Amino acid sequence: MSEEKSQLLLNSTGEAIYGVDLDGECIFANKTCVKMLGYRDEQDLLGRNMHNLIHHSRADGTRYPLEECIIHQAITTGKGIHLDDDVFWIADGSSFSVECSSYPINREGLNIGSVVSFSDITERKNRDRELIESREHMRNLAKRLQEIREEERTLIAREIHDELGQTLTGLKMDLFWLSGRLPKNWKHLPRRAQEMISLIDSTINFVRKLSTELRPSMLDDLGLKAAIEWQVQEFAQRTRCKYRLDLKIRDFSPDSDRDTAIFRILQESLTNIARHAKADYVEISMNEIDSQLLLTIKDNGIGIDKEKINSSSLGLISMRERAGTFGGEFSIRALAEGGSQVTLNIPYSRGIT
């Protein structure tokens, strides 16, 4: 190809390209390159040491010595390299993020320098950063929502338990007092009073159950282990599922928010088993391995469909988010032998208990 043609080609590409000799001095630069580096003409670059001109400092502004420069090393050793996140400095003293490649130029089998091409990735980096920030934002929002939900449940559970529970108990005592004073010859009244007392009794039991389901007080009073034991028994009674519960956790310092997350994940997993799995046996185990709490819940049901696993289904998303909030991981999969398994890994640090 004639010199003129290659010049034409070089200058009509949107990619910034320059060439250097083995000392790293510029031997050519196309228009895009000159423009992106903030110069007026190729002449401004020719003969200049490109490292010292555009690559003299790192992204944080500290000096980037030539001897340490990866591009320069590739040039002198005749190797090709690709960097997907670097920084070039331009004529006005500012810098921008680049993705760049450097490949050796061979003339008659001899390495005489390199061609470096680069593109501005500022926009891509900004987009990446925005994406990370927005994910972080969503995660914080999800966490806050869960907290609010938990706070509200606790409040409602307490109100129901204290207000409604106390009132009903008061009512029962009054009725008891009243029934003892009814004239004996009022045939049906004592029996009706007795029936009312039984009705109040079962309502008191219902209120107790409702408030416990909203927020098991044992989670706050007796800790995670007791709450899990209670929840699993409750589940087995409701579904007539057989189960094996193996909680190999020694005393570890309670952490109310993390324990609530673990408990809610167990609760949702059991609800899912009751609703979808058609299982009659469940195995729940909790272990500590290297400062990680490992919870697995295995059922012998129909197994979860592959496409359901990563779907945007709320129950699964919320379990994943809850685990993520504490640096943990949640997953669910179908087992080869049938049924499904939920796995939860959550880091914890052993405190003084």
Ligand X SMILES: Nc1ncnc2c1ncn2[C@@H]1O[C@H](COP(=O)(O)OP(=O)(O)OP(=O)(O)O)[C@@H](O)[C@H]1O
CB of residue 272 to Mg ion, shortest distance in Å: 4
Residues comprising the chain, all counted: 353
CA distances from 270 to 124, 232, 283, 299 (A): 43, 8, 11, 9
Residue 15 tokens read as: 């990619």
- Residue with token string 């609703």: 275
Q: Which residues contact 224 (CB under 8 A, 6 or more apart)?
A: 249, 254, 259, 262, 263
CB of residue 31 to ligand X, shortest distance in Å: 55
Q: Which amino acid is at 299?
A: D
Closer CB to ligand X, 333 or 350, in the complex: 333
CB-CB neighbours of 294 under 10 Å? 17
* Residue ranges that bind ligand X, judged by CB under 6 A: 272-273, 275-277, 299, 301-302, 304, 308, 313-316, 340
Q: Residue 6: which of Mg ion, ligand X, none does it interact with, CB under 5 to 8 A by kind?
A: none
CB of residue 113 to ligand X, shortest distance in Å: 59
Residue 341 to residue 192: CA distance in whole angstroms: 52
User: Which residue's Cβ lies closest to Mg ion?
Assistant: 315
Strand order in the sheet with 329-334: 242-248, 281-289, 292-299, 340-347, 329-334
Closer CB to ligand X, 115 or 286, in the complex: 286
Phi and psi, residue 304, nearest 5°: -85, 140
Closer CB to ligand X, 228 or 273, in the complex: 273
Closer CB to ligand X, 1 or 314, in the complex: 314
Phi and psi, residue 116, nearest 5°: -110, 130
Please spell the DSSP secondary structure of 66-83, one letter per residue.
Answer: GGG-HHHHHHHHT--EEE
Closer CB to Mg ion, 97 or 272, in the complex: 272
CB of residue 234 to ligand X, shortest distance in Å: 17
CB of residue 51 to ligand X, shortest distance in Å: 54
Contact (CB, 8 A) for 294 and 329: no
Chain-centroid distance of CA 67 in Å reads 41
Closer CB to Mg ion, 272 or 325, in the complex: 272
CB of residue 228 to ligand X, shortest distance in Å: 17
Closer CB to ligand X, 69 or 304, in the complex: 304
CB of residue 331 to ligand X, shortest distance in Å: 12
DSSP designation for 44: G
Q: Residue 277: which of ligand X, Mg ion, none does it interact with, CB under 5 to 8 A by kind?
A: ligand X
Q: Residue 321: which of ligand X, Mg ion, none does it interact with, CB under 5 to 8 A by kind?
A: none
CB of residue 275 to ligand X, shortest distance in Å: 6
Q: Residue 314: which of Mg ion, ligand X, none does it interact with, CB under 5 to 8 A by kind?
A: ligand X
* Residue ranges that bind Mg ion, judged by CB under 5 A: 272, 315
Residue 232 to residue 8: CA distance in whole angstroms: 76
Closer CB to Mg ion, 190 or 315, in the complex: 315
Q: Residue 273: which of ligand X, Mg ion, none does it interact with, CB under 5 to 8 A by kind?
A: ligand X
Q: Residue 336: which of Mg ion, ligand X, none does it interact with, CB under 5 to 8 A by kind?
A: none
User: Which residue's Cβ lies closest to ligand X?
Assistant: 315
CB of residue 271 to Mg ion, shortest distance in Å: 6
Helix, strand, coil distribution of the chain in percent, nearest 5: 50, 25, 25
Contact (CB, 8 A) for 27 and 46: yes
Q: Which amino acid is at 315?
A: G
Q: Residue 304: which of ligand X, Mg ion, none does it interact with, CB under 5 to 8 A by kind?
A: ligand X
DSSP designation for 277: I
Q: Residue 82: which of ligand X, Mg ion, none does it interact with, CB under 5 to 8 A by kind?
A: none
Q: Residue 222: which of ligand X, Mg ion, none does it interact with, CB under 5 to 8 A by kind?
A: none
